[in-house]
Amino acid sequence: MIFASAGSAVGLGNIWRFPYETGQHGGAAFILIYLICVLVLGMPIMISEFLIGRRSRANTAGAYKVLAPRSPWRWVGFMGVLAGFLILSYYSVVAGWTLEYILEAGVNGFAGKSAEDFKGAFIAFSQSPARPLVWLVAFLFMTHYVIVKGVKKGIERFSKVMMPMLFMLILVLVFCSLSLPNADKGLEFLLYPDFSKVNSDVFLGAMGQAFFSLSLGMGCLCTYASYFSKDTDLSKTAFSVGIIDTFVAILAGLIIFPAAFSVGISPDAGPSLIFITLPNVFQQAFSGASVLSYVFSLMFYVLLALAALTSTISMHEVVTAFIHEEFHVSRIAAARCVTGGCIVLGILCSLSLGVLQQAQLFHLTFFDFFDFVTAKIMLPLGGMFIALFTGWYLDRKLVKEEVSNGGTLKVLFFRLYIFILRYIAPVAIAVIFINELGLLG
């Protein structure tokens, strides 16, 4: 159970999105606020998603119908499904990029290149009209295959081996990155908070990243929890997933920033950050040992693509299960709708980085717009409703029964948990939203 949920949580959110969000929001202070969001908002809301899923044994929207029949709560489920669909569309674009990098690493294409070369190559690749689309479609087909062939169990078993490997490789890369010249500047960026840079964007960014990285706010973990057994300790599982996820994100930061500062890549480079920084680590850290750099870079991108796959599967599953159960179409037809829809939206997102750069919504490219609307609006809003639903709507006895597995587990912080769900989480999320809109001056 822990591995399935952790497989969903650990993905591009940790290794790609966390470093660039940190870079764009000034470093250490952002990380501090992020950690607070994970602990105070993430953990209680994750436990709530788990208990909603396990209690109802249904897909996200169905769960609200079971627990709150004929009430508007099911709209929280609908919003989650939509968020999952939108995230999957642009997430697959980036997941497709990892395939290009597997190929590049496989043909030893990083050898002998400079930081400028990597930057130029990435820009040329991501802006070209055709190549990223091929990878995008390939990645969505892979996800589709896993969903319809029912090899999900296999993938999950597989992720038990793969995740520790990825973890180990990340540790090696941390050491490599820290050994680069001028790495200490990157470390300083990560460790010394500069609170003068903190504004409402930083809070919204950190909160959104916490939800995104933990797969929260759209019923993803809720769907997984509907398969949990009666004896799964929900709070322990939530803390384990939270710790694994956070650890991977921080380690990714420890790879990216020392390397970025070392080779002179600006930390606020945005979504391209890891794709232009990491190849440098492989190139420079193993100076002289080109076999090592070849093996490690290839392994890394393969594992990254697999980590992304366990995440895309979890999103695809939410939308497919919803269409299958609510519209009474077969699972295959439901999965085809999801894959087809994501291909169309994904193509839009991908092209918006190149030829469609001028076609903007609210001054954002499609790619950035999708990211903003989902991670910074829909997920926190979904989280807020999940907190309100568990804290106020559900019967307290029922909640206690689920969290304590019918009284067999001792629950230490139950009152605090309910207090956070009732007051702290909804108020904190609302204040961050209102602040961002500029209504608090």
How far is the C-alpha of 301 from the C-alpha of 423, rounded, in Å? 42
For residues 307 and 10, the answer to whether their CB atoms sit within 8 Å is yes
Minimum CB separation of residue 40 from ligand TRP in Å reads 18
Q: How far is CA 5 from CA 46, 51, 106, 250, 343, in A?
A: 10, 14, 30, 19, 25
Q: Which is nearer to ligand TRP, 371 or 436 (CB)?
A: 371
Shortest approach of ligand TRP to residue 293 CB, angstroms?
Answer: 26
CB of residue 386 to ligand TRP, shortest distance in Å: 12
Of 180 and 220, CB closest to ligand TRP: 220
Contact 438, 213 (CB under 8 A): no
Dist CA 90 CA 100 (whole Å): 16
CA 319/CA 323 separation, integer angstroms: 6
Least gap, CB of 165 to ligand TRP (angstroms):
17
Beta bridge partners of 364: 361
Is the CB of 62 or the CB of 242 nearer to ligand TRP?
A: 242
Query: Toward ligand TRP, which CB reaches closer, 82 or 187?
Result: 82
Residue 87 C-beta: closest distance to ligand TRP, Å: 5
Residue placing its CB nearer to ligand TRP in the complex, 84 or 186: 84
Instruction: Please give the angle made by the CA atoms of 274, 122 and 246, to the nearest 5 degrees.
Output: 15
User: Is the backbone of residue 57 left (phi > 0), alpha (psi -120 to 50) or beta?
Assistant: left
Would you say 314 or 350 has its CB closer to ligand TRP?
314
* Nearest distance from C-beta of residue 378 to ligand TRP, angstroms: 9
Q: Quick one: 110 or 369, whose CB is closer to ligand TRP? A: 369
In sequence order, which residues have a C-beta less than 8 Å from that of residue 241 and are 6 or more positions away? 2, 5, 6, 9, 46, 214
Cβ proximity to ligand TRP, 283 vs 339, nearer residue: 339
CB of 81 to ligand TRP, least distance (A): 11
Q: Which stretches does DSSP call E strand in 192-334?
A: none
In the complex, the residues that contact ligand TRP under the rule CB under 6 A are 8-9, 11-14, 87, 212-213, 215, 218, 220, 311, 314-315, 379
Least separation in angstroms between residue 236's CB and ligand TRP is 20
Closest-approach residue to ligand TRP (CB)? 13
How far CA 433 is from CA of 55, 82, 221, in Å, comes to 30, 20, 24
CB-nearer residue toward ligand TRP: 284 or 311: 311
Q: How far is the CB of 229 from ligand TRP (least distance, A)?
A: 22
Determine phi and psi for 352, rounding to 5 degrees: -70, -10
Distance CA 44, CA 148 (A): 33
CA dihedral 174, 170, 140, 274 (to 10 degrees): 0
Cα–Cα distances (Å) from 303 to 31, 110, 132, 296, in that order, read 25, 18, 19, 10
Closest alpha carbon to 415 in 427, 424, 428, 405: 424
Residue 261 or 322: which CB sits closer to ligand TRP?
322
User: What phi-psi label fits residue 383: left (phi over 0), alpha (psi between -120 and 50 degrees) or beta?
Assistant: alpha
DSSP string of 101-159, one letter each residue: HHHHHHTTTTTT--HHHHHHHHHHHHHSSSHHHHHHHHHHHHHHHHHHHT-HHHHHHHH
Closer residue to ligand TRP in complex, CB, 176/302 = 302
Q: Minimum distance from CB of 106 to ligand TRP (Å)?
A: 23
In this structure, what DSSP letter does residue 229 have?
A: -
- Shortest approach of ligand TRP to residue 75 CB, angstroms? 17
